[in-house]
Amino acid sequence: MSMETVDDLQREFADVDINNGISNIDDEPDEEEEVPAVANNNSINEVVMHRRISSGNMQDVLSDSGDYFIEITVSEPQKVGDGMSSYLTYKVTTRTNIPKFKRTDFSTLRRFSDFLGIHDLLASKYIKLGKIVPPAPSKNILGTTKVKISPQQSEPGTGVNVEWVEQRRAALERFINRTAQHPVLRVDLDFVNFLESDQELPRAVNTAALSGAAVVRLFNKVGETVNKITYKMDENDPWFDEKITEVENLDANLQRLYSALKNLVTTRKELANLTGLVAKSAAMLSTCEEHTGLSRALSSLADTEEKIEILRAEQSNSDFYILAEFVKDYLGLFGAIKSAFHERVKVFQYWQNAQVQLTKRRENRGRYEMANRTDKLEQAHQEVEEWQVKVQRCQQQFEEISTEIKKEMERFELGRVKDFKNSIIRYIEDQMAHQQQIISYWEAFIPCAREIV
């Protein structure tokens, strides 16, 4: 397939009105108004775009299979400016052979708000189509403020906030790589521009934690949460009933696992600190011990415990970065899946509302016919025809988002099993390597203990 066709499709995505999402059910129009989800041209275009993307026209670029790859690293956090107006930038380096990109190896500088901005753009375009858009890392006002008020760092990644900065860097890298693994999202024009453009992106002011837009988003989320609780869809597809139950169960158990892992990280850090205290105590005891052999053994014990303290800290990092953050990412992904499911429910709501409006128009037409109101009949016929078209469009949109979600879930499940397998193996191997190192330290200490006479 030609790159011109790919560009055409992506331009269509870029032209989607990002404010044209389906509103909360509490904002439903009255019976004399049209259904927003299907009454304007943008919604009709979404159905057309959805069909064209699903048809396989972009199969060469959008397929998960084949020889295409993309690898992204986020590195070199740098503080720019001083005081509360300062911010961190990250070097985003990309290696890829996807034809959509102009180069195969390139890098650019991006700030945290840029990552939030690209997520919001992708979410506004694709969630309404049933796509699973990986969530961006959450804001942390306390951590950000500490970095802002800290002295300017002479080198990136140094200073008292190094741990927080590294956690954010790693989270951004995981987020952008998960997004890049999606066959549609990775060739979106905005995403390509985010990775490839050397220019500074427009300031994503709506991503600020305390902005007016953030308050609006909060109220919208509250409204949607109420809608999810109060509205029960009459599901006629058993696949969705089973899948929703499966997602809820997995999400609940992952929440428990994540909570346990956080406790493990904390406990392992405490163990490392206590091991360090043992090392210091043994070293102090060795200096005042008069028995030469025992003093030497205590000194060796202090050295051994010191080395083990470092290993315990590394194991804590392994618990956090390899497993805990991995599980946290998947909790976010399950949240994205629930969002896609909820979009389907909203489309169903508008379909049902359109059917109600059609019934009312038909009833009006019937009353005019019985009363022989010929002056009203033509308009009544026209309204019935218009709402029939709207009902058909809503039904088509509902069927297409249902089909798309099933495809997305199939792709997600394949990736999820592979991800869990790789992460668990990596975690076990890392833990085994540390345990073997600890054993070697104790084995080296045994001769010193045996020399005590």
- Measured distance CA(200)–CA(269) in Å, rounded: 40
Q: Which domain holds residue 118?
A: 68-148+160-201
For residue 125, being part of any structural domain is answered with: yes
- Other beta carbons within 10 angstroms of residue 279's beta carbon come to 19
For residue 274, being part of any structural domain is answered with: yes
Q: How many CA atoms lie within 13 A of 192 on its CB side?
A: 20
Is 362 found in the same domain as 301?
A: yes
Query: What angle is formed at CA 156 by the lines to CA 151 and CA 160, rounded to 5 degrees?
Result: 50
- Measured distance CA(360)–CA(31) in Å, rounded: 8
For residue 415, being part of any structural domain is answered with: yes
pTM of the entire predicted model: 0.77
The domain that contains 75 carries what CATH number? 3.30.1520.10
For residue 291, being part of any structural domain is answered with: yes
Is 246 found in the same domain as 131?
A: no
For residue 282, being part of any structural domain is answered with: yes
Is 276 found in the same domain as 193?
A: no
Is 236 found in the same domain as 178?
A: no
Task: Give the DSSP per-residue string, 112-163.
Answer: HHHHHHHHHHHHHHHGGGT---PPPPPP-HHHHHHHHHSPPPSSTT-STTHH
Number of structural domains (the chain) is 2
For residue 52, being part of any structural domain is answered with: no
Is 245 found in the same domain as 177?
A: no
Per-residue pLDDT 10s for the chain (453 aa) are 444 443 444 443 333 333 333 333 333 333 333 333 333 444 434 444 443 333 343 444 445 556 889 999 999 998 888 877 788 999 999 999 999 999 999 999 999 999 999 999 999 999 999 999 999 998 887 777 777 777 655 444 445 478 889 999 999 999 999 999 999 999 999 999 999 998 877 766 555 544 455 555 555 555 555 555 545 777 888 999 999 999 999 999 999 999 999 999 999 999 999 999 999 999 999 999 888 889 999 999 999 999 999 999 999 999 999 999 999 999 999 999 999 999 999 999 999 999 999 999 999 899 888 888 888 888 989 999 999 999 999 999 999 999 999 999 999 999 999 999 999 999 999 999 999 999 999 999 999 999 887
Is 408 found in the same domain as 271?
A: yes
- Measured distance CA(36)–CA(390) in Å, rounded: 10
Is 379 found in the same domain as 245?
A: yes
DSSP 291: -
Q: How many CA atoms lie within 13 A of 335 on its CB side?
A: 14
Of all residues in the chain, what percent are helix, strand and coil, respectively (each to 5)?
70, 5, 20
Is 324 found in the same domain as 192?
A: no
Is 445 found in the same domain as 369?
A: yes
Is 333 found in the same domain as 376?
A: yes
The domain that contains 295 carries what CATH number? 1.20.1270.60
Is 248 found in the same domain as 197?
A: no
Is 314 found in the same domain as 262?
A: yes
